[in-house]
Amino acid sequence: MVDQDNALADSVGFSAVPTLLLFDIQKRLRLGPINFDIRREGMAEAILAWANGQGLNSALAKPRMEAANADEAARLFRQGQAHFAAGKREDALASWRGALELAPRNWLIRKQIWAVEHPDRFYDGPVDFDWQREQLKREQAN
């Protein structure tokens, strides 16, 4: 499934992937978003405990995207998606950069920019996470 409009992230309030959302049997969101990394200490055990009805440590939950700017950031993200679909790469990047200014901790926006500017780091083999860490350091230094 591809959420090209970022509708799920907007409605639930997550800003990075992978994200875990936990629903109960009545399909109600019980906990999340959780910045999910199975390698994270205690993550697998916590998810198994929840699945076995033992509850889940809410400390694993990730805070929502900056609420004050979330609507405008989401609008700019969708605008960028529309520009990109229309073949207007530079307009798309401008919209996404505007969205990122409003929501600088939003990894969905940041990685969308990076993937368009540096597709080789995302689509030619495995995603280059070392490059991403270095790219973030470069951006934060400016």
pLDDT band at residue 52 using 50, 70 and 90 as cut-offs: confident
**Residue 142 pLDDT more than 50?**
yes
- Higher pLDDT, residue 90 or 35: 90
What's the rounded Cα separation, in Å, for the pair 20 and 13?
12
Q: Which of 14, 118, 130 is nearest to 64 (CA)?
A: 14
78-86 contacts, C-beta under 8 A, 24 or more apart: 78/5, 78/6, 80/112, 81/4, 81/5, 81/6, 84/116, 85/4
- Higher pLDDT, residue 51 or 26: 26
3-class state of residue 105 by DSSP: coil
What's the rounded Cα separation, in Å, for the pair 61 and 59?
5
pLDDT of residue 65: 47
What's the rounded Cα separation, in Å, for the pair 66 and 55?
27
- Higher pLDDT, residue 1 or 131: 131
What's the rounded Cα separation, in Å, for the pair 137 and 142?
9
- Higher pLDDT, residue 14 or 117: 117
This model's pTM is above 0.75: no
pLDDT of residue 7: 74
- Higher pLDDT, residue 32 or 52: 52
**Residue 140 pLDDT more than 60?**
yes
Top mean-pLDDT range of 22-36, 54-68, 97-111: 97-111
Degrees, nearest 5: CA angle 83-66-38: 90
Query: Phi then psi for 53, rounded to 5 degrees?
Result: 80, 20
pLDDT of residue 4: 67
- Higher pLDDT, residue 19 or 26: 26
What's the rounded Cα separation, in Å, for the pair 36 and 25?
21
CB atoms within 10 A of CB 8: 14
